[in-house]
Amino acid sequence: MKPTNLLFILSDEHNKRVLGCYGHSMINTPNLDRLAAQGTRFTNAYTNCPICVPARASFATGRYVHQHACWDNAIAYDGRMPSWGHRLMAQGHRVTSIGKLHYVDSDPRRNGFDEEILPLHIVNGVGDLLGLIRDELPRRPGSANLGPEAGRGESDYTRYDRSVAEETAKWLKSGAARDHGKPWALYVGFVAPHFPLIAPPEFYDMYPEDKVPWPDMYEKADRPEHPFIDAMRKCLCYDEAFDEPMVRRALAAYMGLVSFLDDNVGRILRALHESGLTENTRVVYATDHGDNLGTRGLWGKSTMYEESAGIPLIMAGPDVPKGNVCATPVSLVDGFQTFIHALGAAADPGDAGLPGHSLIDIAQGYVPNRTILSEYHAAGAMTGSYMIRHRQYKYIHYVGLPPMLFDLEADPQERQDLGRDPAYAAAVRECEARLRSVVDPEAADKRAREDQHAQIDKHGGVDAILKRGTFRYSPPPGVKASYY
């Protein structure tokens, strides 16, 4: 296979169902749809953690959360574990980052890059301390601003993403993309469609508020009950302030942000083409996790439902089958081997035990013998949660709480939880055994809590953290975090 450059575009909080190529009837995403038509679309792709910092640490290191121990948005990747960038740089490849990373802070060589352009990292190298507190979940009142602020306009994030697209196009058109003897790796991190749900007018106005699809199971009588989900709703109180007009504005804004993202992706792909690099560059698009978007009365991420844990993943370029749809389950840890494989680098013996596989091989038909894993130990989690896919089933394990089980072939919207149905007890046992072949859920939950308690003590204890407050989202470079 011919080594090529690799351009990996990672967005933030993109629900895979809000994409034309994934079947949405209303969304306008021509650039990503075209990329999918030119390559392979993965229909069963997952984040390894449905929140930013741990997911991005898994993407960087090729390790599951319980392996890298970046449990939440206050314990971030610091470069001590080798990343795909470190491996490539050691073999003479140029590795550049433009945009959001969400590591501890900016130190390019330590983080696995030759350069970081417009990097966005956790706030003050500390991040979201409130998310460390899980023994008694604190209410996060800032979450309730999601609905009231939603609508048409500009935000720090939309301005930042335009700058990321501009810097990427500039990098592709400059000598930086051509002055090296070996293929390069370029990582681009956008923030859209992450909240605040404020979309530029030209994109917001694509979606009339009275026409946006209403969230599934949104009515209170239709919302499923489970101790983990009930506790999360109280902590991450997004929905408390919503009324019907707000729901419609929030969805129109989210869809507008997806189209805004797609437009920025289009700018990058045009710059790639105009620079004469398309034929020698593979392109991957993915996101760090999804967004519940009101389904079951939930917003934001943090759950193992498809809206949150499922992600879009598209790849195109040399040796990638065109017009292909791949149902083999994959996840963000596969990015590690994909970078190594695409650039023709040699695999390091120290990486032999990593759980990932090259997405190029999988697109070409290889089916790894493995169980992919997503896990969550962060804000709003009263206990550790773990998700695997096994045959048609999605199994969700909660330490000390009843499990969930969904038959995604018969019930793709996850309306019927079979976890406590005696008729599916054998399937639950089989899935739990597969989960335990990958991780000891009780041991990982214990380690996470111990590490989080140590961080709490380091920052003065629970009362000091509660008094300090927190922020709703990490601001882009040059913007101060707004605490509440």
What is the number of other CB atoms lying within 10 angstroms of the CB of residue 459?
14
* Cβ 474 vs Cβ 194: under 8 Å: no
User: DSSP labels for 266-309?
Assistant: HHHHHHHHHTT-GGGEEEEEEES----TTGGG--SS-S-SHHHH
- List the alpha helices (DSSP H) in 62-200: 65-68, 84-90, 108-111, 146-149, 156-173
CA distances from 306 to 102, 298, 414 (A): 23, 12, 8
CA–CA distance, 174 with 152 (Å, rounded to integer): 35
Looking at residue 474, the DSSP 8-state letter turns out to be P
368 pLDDT more than 80 = yes
What's the predicted TM-score (pTM) here? 0.98
What is the number of other CB atoms lying within 10 angstroms of the CB of residue 328?
17
Residues 240-262 have pLDDT tens digits of 999 999 999 999 999 999 999 99
Closest CA to 146 of 474, 479, 472, 476: 472
3-class secondary-structure state, position 435: helix
pLDDT at 179: 61
* Cβ 359 vs Cβ 338: under 8 Å: yes
Burial level of 327, CB count in 10 A (0-12/13-18/19+)? exposed
| Vertex 164 angle, CA 21 and 376, to 5° | 65
| Vertex 169 angle, CA 32 and 88, to 5° | 85
pLDDT at 434: 98
Task: For the chain, give the percent of residues with pLDDT over 70.
Answer: 99
pLDDT at 63: 98
Confidence of residue 396 (pLDDT cuts 50, 70, 90): very high
Looking at residue 195, the DSSP 8-state letter turns out to be S
Closest CA to 160 of 114, 117, 125, 109: 117
Name the least confident of 80-89, 299-308, 313-322, 464-473: 464-473
* Cβ 112 vs Cβ 89: under 8 Å: yes
Confidence of residue 181 (pLDDT cuts 50, 70, 90): confident
pLDDT at 288: 98
Sheet holding 373-376, edge to edge: 373-376, 385-390, 393-398, 401-407
- Please compute Rg for the chain using Cα positions: 21
375 pLDDT more than 90 = yes
Residues 211-238 have pLDDT tens digits of 999 999 999 999 999 999 999 999 999 9
Domains along the sequence of the chain with CATH: 5-468 (3.40.720.10)
Residues whose CB is less than 8 angstroms from the CB of residue 65 and which lie 6 or more positions away in sequence, other chains included: 48, 49, 54, 57, 58, 71, 375, 377, 444
Residues 52-74 have pLDDT tens digits of 999 999 999 999 999 999 999 99
* Cβ 188 vs Cβ 164: under 8 Å: yes
**Please, what sign has the CA dihedral across residues 469, 474, 480, 482?**
negative
3-class secondary-structure state, position 214: coil
CA–CA distance, 3 with 189 (Å, rounded to integer): 23
Confidence of residue 354 (pLDDT cuts 50, 70, 90): very high
482 pLDDT more than 90 = no
* Cβ 53 vs Cβ 122: under 8 Å: yes
CA–CA distance, 336 with 358 (Å, rounded to integer): 8
pLDDT at 294: 98
* Cβ 248 vs Cβ 209: under 8 Å: yes
484 pLDDT more than 90 = no
311 pLDDT more than 80 = yes
CA–CA distance, 193 with 180 (Å, rounded to integer): 34
Name the least confident of 22-26, 349-353, 471-475: 471-475
Mean pLDDT over 278-291 rounds to 97
pLDDT at 420: 97
